[in-house]
Amino acid sequence: MTKVTAIEAGPYGIRVNAIHPGGVVGPGQFRMKKIIETRAKLKKVSTDEVVKGYLNETVIGRWITDDEIGEAVLFLVTKATATTGWVLDCSGGWFIGPIRRGY
């Protein structure tokens, strides 16, 4: 969708990019909390174990902060002026593929 929209908007001088966040911590992250709680119930483990499992699936081994997502947006708006049709992965390596270090 990002690429098609970029192709259609490009002739009008409009750049279209997207950010693909991973697990983000910050105020109001209720969706991720619900996902963790549901996964813990299904697997019959603690929420701490589920969190550890998610973090083990990232290359950097931690959640992404809402400030880091903001920095990515700022980069796309101010520095990447020739960039369009791009999806910026801000997942800490979560979307590279499963690392699964001990989970």
* Lowest model confidence (mean pLDDT) among 1-5, 28-32, 59-63, 78-82: 28-32
Range of the domain at 86: 2-90
Q: Of 63, 72, 50, which Cα lies nearest the Cα of 22? A: 63
96 occurs within a structural domain: no
Q: Using the predicted structure, report yes or no on whether residue 69 has a pLDDT greater than 80.
A: yes
Kindly report, residue by residue over 8-67, the tens digit of the pLDDT: 999 999 999 999 988 887 776 777 888 889 999 999 999 999 988 888 888 888 888 889
Kindly provide the residue ranges of all beta strands, DSSP E only, lying in 12-85, ordered along the sequence. Answer: 17-21, 24-25, 64-65
Find the length of the chain: 103
Average pLDDT, the chain: 87
58 occurs within a structural domain: yes
74 occurs within a structural domain: yes
Q: Supply the CATH number for residue 44's domain.
A: 3.40.50.720
Residue bearing tokens 């390596």? 93
50 occurs within a structural domain: yes
User: pTM of the predicted model, to two decimals?
Assistant: 0.74
- Number of independent structural domains in the chain: 1
101 occurs within a structural domain: no
102 occurs within a structural domain: no
